[in-house]
């Protein structure tokens, strides 16, 4: 597919516009940005990504509440809590994510960090350095996450896997945060074993709508194949860092750019005249 130069220019413009620090406060990525310890960033970021559905303000408020329940030191809480400390989570709820899910997440983190000092290893056990993308990584992570005895079946719906043909949008967003490396200040780039070129673009409703408008998204629903299809289009723009255009697609969706297309074109015409 040949992508029109006007589309390339628009996506590059919007990538620069949205991939900057003033994007952070109103986005769930603001939660891990409150921390400096690597493990705190990993844990808080994972919770923020998994809870990222609904209005962004509500997501941030719920994640803030959850971090406060962990004394705003999630790694220390995960590794040092007592049984009685867990009672405070019995009333925690965000949409369908409830106390059962929260307590299992905490237990998984406790078990994982007892054996590894980073969550990255949970994603790289099944990932080959030569792999085209992170599909095998997500499958392996899902299996690892639910490897503890008697895990709650209901919690499986909160951790997506390509095996169920999910687009895995929240985990893909989380991996973008952890893996992408630039000097823009939004993504952390604290993981080294996954390459940015292997990432898959998160397909939320804004990204899907804009990608369809641009002809980069043709499947009837946002499933795993659709996420791969979109990412392969983005690799034509930047094969080494295709998921950077998540900022552009999401931003265009938030702006309702194509719904306001006549106004946008008029503004661009005025800019050229001046």
> What are the per-10-residue average pLDDT scores of the chain (274 residues)?
90 97 97 98 98 94 98 98 97 97 98 98 95 97 96 97 97 98 96 98 94 92 96 97 98 88 48 44
How far is Cα 47 from Cα 40, in angstroms, rounded to an integer? Answer: 11
pLDDT at 217: 87
Q: Give Dmax (Cα) for the chain.
A: 68
How far is Cα 77 from Cα 67, in angstroms, rounded to an integer? Answer: 10
Q: pTM score, two decimals?
A: 0.93
pLDDT at 227: 97
Tokens of residue 104, six digits: 């299992």
CB neighbour list of residue 59: distance below 8 Å, 6 or more residues apart: 28, 48, 51, 52, 53, 94
Q: Three-class SS string for 95-129?
A: CCECHHHHHHHHHHHHHHHCCCCCCHHHHHCCCCC
């Amino acid at each position: 597919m040949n992508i029109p130069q006007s589309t390339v220019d628009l996506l590059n413009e919007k990538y620069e516009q949205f991939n900057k620090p003033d994007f952070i406060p109103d986005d769930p990525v603001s939660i891990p940005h409150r921390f400096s310890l690597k493990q705190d960033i990993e844990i808080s970021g994972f919770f923020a990504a998994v809870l990222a559905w609904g209005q962004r303000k509500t997501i941030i408020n719920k994640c803030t509440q959850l971090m406060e329940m962990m004394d705003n030191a999630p790694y220390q809480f995960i590794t040092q809590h007592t049984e009685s400390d867990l009672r405070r989570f019995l009333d925690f709820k965000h949409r369908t994510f409830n106390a059962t899910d929260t307590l299992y997440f905490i237990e998984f983190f406790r078990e994982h960090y007892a054996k590894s000092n980073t969550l990255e290893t949970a994603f790289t056990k099944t990932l080959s350095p030569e792999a085209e993308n992170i599909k095998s990584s997500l499958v392996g992570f899902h299996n690892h996450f639910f490897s503890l005895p008697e895990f709650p079946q209901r919690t499986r719906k909160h951790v997506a896997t390509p095996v169920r043909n999910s687009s895995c949008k929240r985990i893909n967003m989380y991996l973008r945060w952890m893996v992408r490396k630039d000097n823009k200040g939004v993504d952390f780039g604290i993981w080294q074993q996954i390459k940015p070129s292997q990432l898959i673009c998160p397909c939320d409703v804004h990204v899907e709508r804009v990608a369809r408008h641009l002809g980069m998204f043709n499947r009837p629903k946002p499933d795993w194949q659709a996420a791969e299809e979109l990412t392969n289009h983005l690799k034509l723009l930047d094969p080494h860092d295709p998921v950077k255009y998540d900022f552009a697609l999401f931003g265009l969706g938030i702006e309702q750019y194509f719904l306001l297309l006549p106004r946008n074109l008029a503004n661009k015409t005025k800019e050229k005249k001046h």
